[in-house]
Structure 1
Amino acid sequence: MMRPILIGITGGTGSGKSTVAKEIFKSFREDCIAMIEQDSYYKNQSHLSFEERIKTNYDHPNAFDTPLLVEHLTKLLKSQIIYKPLYDFKEHTRKKEMIKVEPRDIIIVEGIMILQDVQLRNLLDIKIYVDTDDDVRIIRRILRDINERGRTIQSVIKQYLEVVKPMHEQFIEPTKKYADIIIPEGGQNKVAIDIMVSKIKQILIENK
């Protein structure tokens, strides 16, 4: 089996990186592509009290178990099966269940800090940064955290201004320079997504 193509998709919270990842994913047969979400690799906090867990800064590199993510991606690149963790954002820790992920020809890994860690960055064959206007991103963040993560609008706005925005400027925005491709406006940019899909298909043909 050939070495899989490892594609990293990053960008700020609410940039549309997940939509870009899903659009690329849908363009291939499910038996040849796998998706790894960096959000699944937030550190296990089951040893902490709930009061301590809710203080977690999810927008800082230290919140992630990056060594485990690097280990899992390395295994997939060597055609080995992994068991991906699942994260419970209401309980602020990992779930007991895990998801079996089998190696595939294409592996997408998406998340806000994909290009921040040098070891993780060096594994990637294609590095994509999704660049979206700050106003659009905060609106998407508010809707997501209220609807999917049970937060109040006041808590989301407070967190955005005090944590998310400064963390984005410190850790995420600077990683744009490492990207091979910058996609403006995320999932709305059908042309850029189509170009990426064509490029991936071309690499697959060349690697056979």
Structure 2
Amino acid sequence: MSLLTERHSVTPYRDIAVAAGVPADDLDRVIGLLPLMVTGFEASRHDLLWALACLCPPGPDLAAARPTLDRLGWTDAERDELAAGLDRLLDDPRYPEEWVAHDTVAAARRLSGVRWITPRGLRTQGDLEPLTDPPAGLLPGRVGLLTELADRAIARGRDQPGPLLIAVDGGTGAGKSTLADEIADEFRRRGTWAVRACVDFFKVPPELRQAGGVGDMFDRAAVRRELLEPLLPGGDRLVRTASWDGWTQRDLLDRPRLAVPEDGVAVVDGVMITTAPELRDLWTLRIWVSAGADTRRERMVVRDALWSDDPSPEALRKRFDSRFKPDEEKYRIESGVESVVDAVVDNDDPARPVLLR
């Protein structure tokens, strides 16, 4: 069954939500987030954790949901990932979506501010348990790519004091976030403290946007001020990984800051970040992720069905072709981004990415 078909067959997943303890009034809010987890589609994982953790205080009953998961064919590895993610959400958030979810869930459960200080460190470096082995699902072709990119960043940063700053740029649906997550995990496997951030969490609130283009959605001044400048020589290395939460429509600039050690690394993904005037001179390593328009369109159709007002494939394809594709293609050509970055990754086939330069 295709990802798209699976996404729009939500009825069986209502059983998961019911068995996990989601209140009846919240079922419609959560079942739309469940199907992609079964297919393994990356973008859904954090949304599922956020929904279950927020709607099932003090937590979902995964044991009660087991018969449903069995019937739907969930593997032991998928179940373990879900359970580990739920445990980590409030104790040890790792990815950008989890940091935002951490605040959202804590607020929804009316937890005290003390609980928001986690082992990974808010206002403190904390203890680091480095990852050891690549995850089972990471194919050999990607392992080699991650090794090469991490080595390049380290080589380029040898004569630069402070944390490494890695930018992962590319069009919508190219695979930026997944690659950035993997690069951060590669550094963690080497024992390096790594923070992940996504420019999607530095958007300008819709009512304040001056124009309708893709590039005008992002508050790059906040990215520089809150995330990157503190990591430059002389900075205090206390950063925020988000300025705006689109889920709850709230400002995040009052949240605690995250401490990054001197020998740490920040991996940031986002559209149009490598050549933006506010950011272009700050990066240690700049990566462009490339994929064909047809590939990116279909990835967006699956991904954006999670939160679009009109999740039909036709509407989402039209949105890609009328909005994202023209703006991003114009950016690619006019900025010459592929000629100025330090590495270009052809990600048309995620199982076999090709490092072009």
The two structures have a TM-score, normalised by structure 2, of 0.46
Q: 1:100 aligns with which of 257, 272, 280?
A: 257
Distance 2:216 2:324 in 1: 14
Distance 1:135 1:146 in 2: 17
Per residue, is there more strand in 1 or in 2?
A: 1
Distance 2:223 2:305 in 1: 28
> What are the equivalent positions in structure 2 for 1:110-189 lying under 5 Å apart?
110-149=269-308, 151-153=310-312, 154-173=314-333, 174=335, 175-185=337-347, 187-189=350-352
Distance 1:99 1:14 in 2: 31
The question of whether the paired residues in 2 share the 8 Å contact of 1:145 and 1:151 is answered with no
Structure 1 gap ranges (5+): 193-208
1:177 is displaced (CA, Å) by: 2.1
Residues 45-96 of structure 1: per-residue CA shift (max 9 Å, x gap)? 4xx3xxx98x974x522221111111121113324212333544467x4455
Which segment drifts farther, 168-177 or 65-74?
A: 168-177
Q: 1:68 aligns with which of 216, 222, 236?
A: 222
Task: Tell me which structure has the larger Cα radius of gyration.
Answer: 2
Distance 1:95 1:156 in 2: 28
Q: How many residues align?
A: 185
Distance 1:160 1:12 in 2: 11
Which segment drifts farther, 34-43 or 81-90?
A: 81-90
Residues 88-137 of structure 1: per-residue CA shift (max 9 Å, x gap)? 4467x445574633224111111011123123011001010011111110
> Percent of aligned positions with the same letter in both sequences?
25
The question of whether the paired residues in 2 share the 8 Å contact of 1:129 and 1:182 is answered with yes
Could you say which residue in structure 1 is the equivalent of 2:73?
A: none
The question of whether the paired residues in 2 share the 8 Å contact of 1:10 and 1:114 is answered with yes
> What are the equivalent positions in structure 2 for 1:25-40 lying under 5 Å apart?
25-29=184-188, 32-40=193-201
The question of whether the paired residues in 2 share the 8 Å contact of 1:15 and 1:137 is answered with yes
Distance 1:151 1:4, change over 3 A: farther
Q: Secondary structure at the match of 1:10?
A: strand
1:159 partner amino acid? R
Residues 28-57 of structure 1: per-residue CA shift (max 9 Å, x gap)? 228611111111111134xx3xxx98x974
Would you say 1:80 and 2:232 are equivalent positions? no
The question of whether the paired residues in 2 share the 8 Å contact of 1:10 and 1:17 is answered with yes
The question of whether the paired residues in 1 share the 8 Å contact of 2:167 and 2:273 is answered with yes
Q: Secondary structure at the match of 2:167?
A: strand
Distance 1:176 1:61 in 2: 17
Distance 2:276 2:203 in 1: 14
Q: Secondary structure at the match of 1:128?
A: strand
Distance 1:121 1:71, change over 3 A: same
1:62 partner amino acid? D
The question of whether the paired residues in 2 share the 8 Å contact of 1:131 and 1:184 is answered with yes
The question of whether the paired residues in 1 share the 8 Å contact of 2:162 and 2:231 is answered with no
Greater RCO, CA 8 A, separation 6+: 1
Q: Secondary structure at the match of 1:140?
A: helix
The question of whether the paired residues in 2 share the 8 Å contact of 1:90 and 1:150 is answered with no
2:322 partner amino acid? E
The question of whether the paired residues in 1 share the 8 Å contact of 2:285 and 2:342 is answered with yes
